[in-house]
Amino acid sequence: MGSYWGTSHTTAMTITTTASAASAADRVIDRAIAGLHATNPAAAARLEHDLACEGREMTVTRKGEVLTFVSNLSDAEAVAALAGMRSSFAQSLYRSRGRLSAKQLAWAHYLASESQTRQSASQDPAAAPQFEALFAAFQAARDKGAKRLTLRFAGVNVKPNRAGDALWITSQSETEEGRYGLQPKYLGKVTPNGMDPRLGDDIKAVLMEASQDPLTAAIRYGKESGECSCCGRELTDPRSIERGIGPVCATKFGW
Ligand SMILES: [Zn+2]
């Protein structure tokens, strides 16, 4: 291995092997395909297509039992899917992303593939709404040390609970008496896979749209209301008004 990569790559290879054996293997495959392109482009294209479509066979060991499965996801997709999962195991894997062992990465693929299967089994997409993108945006901000996280969309505030497994929805126009006086009225919650039935249809529509593409929804809110979706402050800088979001806030949410 060392001679193949050359001595200058030895250190880098050692690190990648421990961090992620699967992605190191991917890079070897990429190099092989690049070589094949030079001599037989048609064969290289077929190989690329097969690799992209067939998925990877992987195994995880659960309570001594070896489970073999095929993942159609890239490592990045598998890890991203963890963000929206409730289990503490999935959450701990997500927090360790970037330094997962090959075994942990296989578990990420397993959990993500299982969740993908469950989703496609559901006939009606409206019956199993997905909010991964919203949860991932809050997780990104939390990872950067941000506190008091709230995103504002048309008429509602969206705020994650402490555990990060639910989003509390409050009203921007209605208030209720709370422990410390008047506070925004609580309307219901969103979990990674569902919305509180108490939420009105108009609010559900706003949340579904925001979950499809949180950044676009945040920008629209900024342009319509004149305030930043992330911090609620009035947009005063001409560039921020133009963009519909404050630059510091956008960075904080990983946008
Ligand atoms: Zn802001």
pLDDT digits (tens, 9 = 90+) for 165-178: 999 999 999 999 88
What pTM value is reported for the model? 0.51
3-state secondary structure of 214: helix
Please check the confidence at residue 134 and state whether its pLDDT lies above 90: yes
Average pLDDT, the chain: 83
Centroid of ligand 1 to alpha carbon of 141 (angstroms) = 12
pLDDT at 9 over 60: no
* pLDDT per residue as tens digits for the range 27-56: 777 788 788 878 887 777 767 666 665 678
pLDDT in tens, 55-68: 788 999 988 889 88
Model pLDDT for residues 90-107, shown as the tens digit of each residue: 999 999 998 999 999 999
State the helix-helix crossing angle for 102-121 and 88-95, rounded to 10 degrees.
130
Tokens of 106: 């296989």
Indicate whether 199 pLDDT > 90.
yes
How far does the centroid of ligand 1 lie from the alpha carbon of residue 241, in Å?
A: 11
Residues contacting 237, CB < 8 A, separation 6+: 246
- Reported as type and span, the H/E element at residue 102 is helix 102-121
Query: Once rounded to an integer, what is the mean pLDDT over residues 114-134?
Result: 66
Is residue 205 within 8 Å of residue 194, measured between CB atoms?
no
Query: How far, in Å, is the centroid of ligand 1 from the Cα of 55?
Result: 41
Distance from residue 104's CA to the centre of ligand 1 (Å):
36
